[in-house]
Amino acid sequence: MTAETTGATSPTGTTGPGTPGGVRSPAGDPLVIAGEEFASRLITGTGGAPSLKVLEEALIASGTEMTTVAMRRVSPGAEGSVWDVLRRNGIRPLPNTAGCFTAMDAVRTARLAREALETDWIKLEVVADERTLLPDPVELLDAAERLVDEGFVVLPYTNDDPVLARRLEGLGCAAVMPLGAPIGSGLGIRNPHNIELIVEQAEVPVVIDAGIGTASEAALAMELGCDAVMLATAVTRAQDPVRMAAAMRDAITAGRGARLAGRIPVRRYAQASSPAVD
């Protein structure tokens, strides 16, 4: 969590230890991960797009500066690639370890991604099973520790568990990426209280990752104090991916603004906003 968000009154009505520092201009409020600045607080995924053309248009509409890709075997004769799309638009690739079920597999995939894409950044995913795709916390911690030791900038996809998030940060991860709900489910943020607890304690950026279904949920993530939103399915499988990408961009800007502005406390009864009649 960035310092300026500390203590904002949360959307769920609880109040943190201080007050927000007031509205900041977007230009002066970059997302900073491992010392690198991003003007956009939306990290997009590329999975599920109906075509490379639609994907490219959606990425441009989203305003994203960093986009996840997976590592898979080369298919002979494949025409066009996501790699070309990212290079053409100056979007930074963030390789992931999707499809890995053990720490050993994830470390191997990260090493291959570093070699292929010439980046030390890795979105670490180690999942427990195909049905839920929920992170396996034991394997995740093991992989994170090994990758940090090897000099990777590790961004782990994690459960919405404040204790696990703290352990990952303690290992040296550059951010924590708790899920809002299972990957691709569109269920929104199932446990906003836990997300708030993670935000409160984190000294590194908190990126909500997975579960976002529509723009209001992305805005909520930002209002809860998350530093950024990572999503794919909500855009790539929307009826109009390009329009949804733009909606997500605007929602994240709005949610961030509301967080910095500091919402009013939740009250049980009315409070007149007009002066009393004499």
Residues that constitute the known binding site:
184, 210-211, 232-233
Asked if 130 is part of the footprint of another protein (rule: CB under 8 A), the reply reads: no
Answer for the pair 114, 152: CB distance below 8 angstroms, yes or no. yes
Give the annotated binding-site residues for 1-deoxy-D-xylulose 5-phosphate: 184, 210-211, 232-233
Torsion of CA 50, 207, 215, 242, to 10 degrees: -30
User: What span, in angstroms and rounded, lies between the C-alpha atoms of 23 and 98?
Assistant: 37
Rounded to a whole number of angstroms, the minimum distance from the CB of residue 86 to another protein is 8
User: Out of 95, 135, 205, 225, which residue is the one contacting another protein (CB under 8 A)?
Assistant: 95
User: What span, in angstroms and rounded, lies between the C-alpha atoms of 129 and 120?
Assistant: 27
Q: DSSP letters along 125-177, please?
A: --BS-TTT--B-HHHHHHHHHHHHHTT-EEEEEE-S-HHHHHHHHHHT-S-BE
123 given a catalytic annotation: yes
Asked if 49 is part of the footprint of another protein (rule: CB under 8 A), the reply reads: yes
Q: Active-site residue among 114, 123, 249, 256?
A: 123
Residues in contact with another protein, total (CB under 8 A)?
33
User: What span, in angstroms and rounded, lies between the C-alpha atoms of 16 and 46?
Assistant: 36
The residue (of 20 and 47) whose beta carbon lies closer to another protein is 47
User: Out of 31, 59, 82, 140, which residue is the one contacting another protein (CB under 8 A)?
Assistant: 82
Asked if 32 is part of the footprint of another protein (rule: CB under 8 A), the reply reads: no
The residue (of 2 and 46) whose beta carbon lies closer to another protein is 46
Asked if 182 is part of the footprint of another protein (rule: CB under 8 A), the reply reads: no
Asked if 48 is part of the footprint of another protein (rule: CB under 8 A), the reply reads: yes
Beta-bridge mates of residue 228: 207
Among the listed ranges 116-124, 161-169, 200-208, 258-266, the one in contact with another protein (CB under 8 A) is 116-124
Q: DSSP letters along 176-198, please?
A: BEE-SSSTT-----S-HHHHHHH
Asked if 56 is part of the footprint of another protein (rule: CB under 8 A), the reply reads: no
User: What span, in angstroms and rounded, lies between the C-alpha atoms of 262 and 120?
Assistant: 36
SS3 call for 97: coil
* Positions marked active-site: 123
Interface residues toward another protein, by CB under 8 A: 45-49, 52, 55, 68-74, 76, 81-83, 93-96, 98, 108, 111-113, 115-117, 123, 125, 232
